[in-house]
Every structure is written in structure tokens, then in C-alpha cells.
Chains A and B, each alone.
Chain A
Amino acid sequence: MEYLQFLIILFFSPLIQGMIKTTKARMQGRVGPGVFQPYYDLIRLMKKEMVISHVTSWIFKATPYIVFTSTLAAAMITPVLTTKASFGIMGDVIALIYILATGRFFMALAGLDAGTSFGGEGSSREMAVAILVEPMMMLSIFTAAISVGSTNIARIAEAQGMVYSPSHLLALSAFVVAIIAETGRIPVDNPDTHLELTMIHEGMLLEYSGRYLALMEWAHYMKQMLLFTLGVDIFFPVGIPGDTAFAGLGVSFALYFLKMCCMAVLMAAIESTRAKLRFFQLPSLLGGAFVLAFLSLLTYIMMGR
């Protein structure tokens, strides 16, 4: 039973994306697409013919599958509804971050592969952001990990109560910035358009079409939901049961869904109220968040909680 919980991330991630888009549209006074629009998009893309540039190598064709499966593998080691570990010792947060980094690496390669200038731009920007985001994410997770004494996500989720101490609050704020940067949302990247010269994520996907594009987009939605789940597991694991009893799972699912809705609304609110930063101002934002994560670790060490 617990082996199947990744299916929730697999099938609900487009819904979360749709919820963010609809909420954002409502906040900006537009009607916006329905919450199921990402599903329709994916289905339509699946049916479309692919156009692949003849200068590309095998990397270009392998990347969608690598990105999709690495994200899926990361989803498998994350506790979603129950902390009964799906893959035992593998449920490690460091492993998870590096599994995601594999996908990112291949995505950047594929961006370079087609030889367009936009793809290369997107790749180099993605890597520049990743350098700043990864250590920050690690540090903010480590604060929680130290307080539990384990880097296993399930153990962290079991041991945490409510957010109680200053160090957790600092780590949480750094983690939110990390989520924004990783999912390419507005102060860092604009997810709505690939018509901008400042695009990061979209720039790498520019050469993809049809089924491959659908896989890449779906992997992106999954990564987004996965990061939300990770944040919820680490910082608000209220009501997540340790076994697979049916009643517990029901409550857990309801709570999980509620938390995901909260995250979606939070993201939409941040996107609607912030302006996109210039790329060269990003180190300031991400560096600030890095200092927050660093301070959270220090504060934890000093205060002991």
C-alpha cells in the first residue's frame, strides 16, 4: 500500500498547477482557465506530432525520459500520506536532492544540445540559479534533520511537531524561497511565457514539442508538487500517520490536500504581489535566503531547539 503513494504526486500534480494558475488569475481579476486545464494540455501534447531538429544527438531524445523518471524516483522516496517508509533506507533527503539534480543536469544538457542560443541561455541561467539554490535548500533541511538526528524524510516527518522554534521559522522561510527558485516562479523566473528574453526554465524546453514536451511539463509539475510535499513533510507534518490503516489514510489525505491547497494559494499570492527580479539581482535574493538558512542552523545550534 505504502509503495503506491507516489501515484498521488504523479496524478495530482497537474491539478496543483491548475489550482495555482486559477488562483493567480482570480487574484489578478481575470477569469483564468479551469483547474483541469493542465490535464487537457498534457493530453493534447501527447497526441501531437513531434518535430525534432536533425542536429540533435541522443541526449535530446533521452532527456525527457530521464527527467521524468528521476522526478518519479524522487517522488517514490517521499512520504506523502504515510511515513511508513516506502523504500527504507533510501528515503533520504540528500539522495532526493541529488536525484532531482540528475534531472536538472540532463535538462541543461538538452538545452545546449539543439544548439539554439535560447536553449544555451536557459541552461546557463538554470545552472547559475542551481548553484545558489541547492546549498540553501540543503542547509534549511539540515536544520530540521539535526533536530531529529536523521536525514531520512520519514523520520523527520514523524518527529516534528508544530513549528515552534525560531530556527524552524527561519529554515521555513529559506525553504519557501528555494521552492520558488526551483519551480521557476515569479521573483526568479516567469512560468507563464516563453516569449521573454529572461526565461530560464522555458528556454531549455523551447526545442521540445509533442510527447517529449508533455513529459517535460509533467515532470515539472511533479517536481513542484514534490517540493511542496517535502516542505509539508519537514515543516508541517501534522496528521501524517505512521502506518497504513484505512481511517488514518483518509484523514491524512484530507489534511494533505488542504496543505497542498494552502501552498498553491501561497505561491499564487507571491506570484501576484511580486515583480520579477532582474537576473543579476537574483544573487541578492538567493544570498539573503542562504543567510537565513545559515542563521537558522546557527540559531538551532546555539539555542538547542
Chain B
Amino acid sequence: MKNWIQAFSVIDFISVGILLTAVAMNAVKRLESCVKIYTLNSWLLSSLIAIVALMVGEPHLYTASAATLLGKGILIPMFLKRVVRQMRVTHDVEPYINNALSLAVSGILVAVVYASLRQGIFVSGFSKNVLQISIAVILIGLFVMITRRKAITQVIGLLFMENGLFLAGFSLTYGMPIIIELGVLFDMLMGVIILGIFAVQIKRAFASSNLDNLTILKG
């Protein structure tokens, strides 16, 4: 079993796939596609955990994988899709800077991360490359958060950051105790629901979910 994981470098492929979905966030123009890309990212994350679980044979990793798939891969995307549908109009992401430039910036971010963590400082985990990729995903998530106008895309940026953090923790420690992971997952679900409701409320109050409107004081 371990042989084919090693032979086809499955872990490398999946982790690069996770990075690629994060970079692709910068290229898409529609809110639905953002949600789809996030879903793909979560599925890849879940399958990475499952593969590592197969490799090291730790039973609690299977639970983590299943919880990730259920929470981040199914429940949160379903809810986000509902929110996007509730807001009805304007599918556009409306970034502050155009797509080509934000793609370039995300490429540079990845380069900076790779260059600064070149030597694989923490080599105790299952792969010395996953930490770099996870930090790159965190930074790209942050970048997405600060360059998008819509409330929902900011939520998705936050979710990408969380996925990156989860991956970083996982790559260093083979996963935290299951109780903590479940707690984090539950918190995040709540957070997304609250933010989603907020987004819909902002949309109702201002007839647009553009966060620039919130800078004007109302009195």
C-alpha cells in the first residue's frame, strides 16, 4: 500500500493541487466558482489526510479526514451556495486589482514563501514540502481577503486561510487531538454561518454586499 503512494508521489501531487486551487481563487470571476474552488480545496485536503492515514496507519486521522470532508467539503459549501443564491444578483467578485495582477502577486507570494522556507526547517512530518505549501495557502487566503470587495469572497479567503493553517498543523504534528479538531471545525461552521447571515443582512441594508459602503457612517 505504501509503495504506490511513494512511487507515484501522491502526496506531492495532492499538495500541489491544494496550492493550485488557492492560486486559482485569484483567477475566477464569479462567486459560484469561488465556492466550487473552495470545495475542491477541501476535498483535496481531506484526501491528503486520508492518504497520510493510509501511510502511517493512525486511526484517528481517518476521523479527521471524514470530519474535514463532511464539514469543509459538504456543509460549508452548501451553506455558502445558499447564501450566494439568496443574494441573487451580481455574480461578480469585483476585486480591487485585476485578475492578471492578483495572479502575479499570488505567484510572487508563493516564491517568497518557498525562498524563505527553502531548507525545510521542520522535517519531522510526513513530507518536507507540505509546510511551505500550507503557508503559501495561508498568505494567498489573506491576499484574497484584502483584495476583494464582496463580503462572501472575504469569508472564502478566511476559509482558505483556515485550510492552510489546518494543513500546516497537520504537516507538523500528524494532526492535533481529535477533540481540538472537532472544536475548530465546529467553531468554523458557526463562524461561516454568522458571517453568511451578516453578508445577507448587509446586502439587505445597502442593496449591495460591497463592503466599501460600510465605511460611510450612518447616523
A287 to B129, CA, bound (A): 25
Interface assignment of B190: CB less than 8 Å from any CB of chain A: no
In the complex, the answer to whether B103 meets A291 with C-beta atoms within 8 Å is yes
* Residue from the list A166, A284, A290 in contact with B9, Cβ < 8 A: A166
| Residues 286-305 of chain A, each 1 if its beta carbon lies under 8 Å from chain B, else 0 | 01101110110011011101
On whether A288 and B12 interact (CB within 8 A), knowing A302-B114, A302-B132, A303-B129, the answer reads no
On whether A287 and B16 interact (CB within 8 A), knowing A166-B9, A294-B107, A301-B114, the answer reads no
| Residues 96-126 of chain B, each 1 if its beta carbon lies under 8 Å from chain A, else 0 | 0011100110110011001000100000000
A78 to B19, CA, bound (A): 34
A128 to B204, CA, bound (A): 44
In the complex, the answer to whether B12 meets A298 with C-beta atoms within 8 Å is no
In the complex, the answer to whether B118 meets A166 with C-beta atoms within 8 Å is no
In the complex, the answer to whether B111 meets A170 with C-beta atoms within 8 Å is no
Interface assignment of A164: CB less than 8 Å from any CB of chain B: yes
A81 to B132, CA, bound (A): 41
In the complex, the answer to whether B104 meets A284 with C-beta atoms within 8 Å is no
- In chain B, what residue has the closest Cβ to A299? B16
Interface assignment of A53: CB less than 8 Å from any CB of chain B: no
In the complex, the answer to whether B132 meets A288 with C-beta atoms within 8 Å is no
| Residues 12-52 of chain B, each 1 if its beta carbon lies under 8 Å from chain A, else 0 | 11001101100100010000000000000000000000000
In the complex, the answer to whether B16 meets A284 with C-beta atoms within 8 Å is no
* Residue from the list B9, B103, B114, B118 in contact with A288, Cβ < 8 A: B103
A290 to B118, CA, bound (A): 22
B33 → chain A, closest Cβ, in Å? 13
B139 → chain A, closest Cβ, in Å? 14
- In chain A, what residue has the closest Cβ to B7? A164
- In chain B, what residue has the closest Cβ to A287? B100
On whether A287 and B118 interact (CB within 8 A), knowing A170-B16, A295-B19, A298-B110, the answer reads no
* Residue from the list B16, B23, B98, B111 in contact with A166, Cβ < 8 A: B16
- In chain A, what residue has the closest Cβ to B132? A302
- In chain B, what residue has the closest Cβ to A293? B107
Name the B residues within 8 Å of A295 (CB-CB). Answer: 16, 19-20, 23, 107, 110
Name the B residues within 8 Å of A305 (CB-CB). Answer: 9
A290 to B106, CA, bound (A): 12
Name the B residues within 8 Å of A290 (CB-CB). Answer: 103-104, 107
A138 → chain B, closest Cβ, in Å? 15
* Residue from the list A287, A288, A294 in contact with B111, Cβ < 8 A: A294
Interface assignment of A206: CB less than 8 Å from any CB of chain B: no
Interface assignment of A260: CB less than 8 Å from any CB of chain B: no
- A165-B12, A169-B16, A295-B23 known; 8 new pairs, CB 8 Å cut-off, are A169-B13, A283-B100, A291-B23, A295-B110, A298-B110, A302-B129, A302-B132, A303-B129
Q: List 13 A-B contacts (CB under 8 A).
A: A164-B9, A169-B13, A169-B16, A284-B100, A284-B103, A288-B103, A291-B104, A291-B106, A295-B19, A295-B20, A295-B23, A301-B114, A302-B129
Q: Which residues of B contact A (CB under 8 A)?
A: 8-9, 12-13, 16-17, 19-20, 23, 27, 98-100, 103-104, 106-107, 110-111, 114, 118, 129, 132
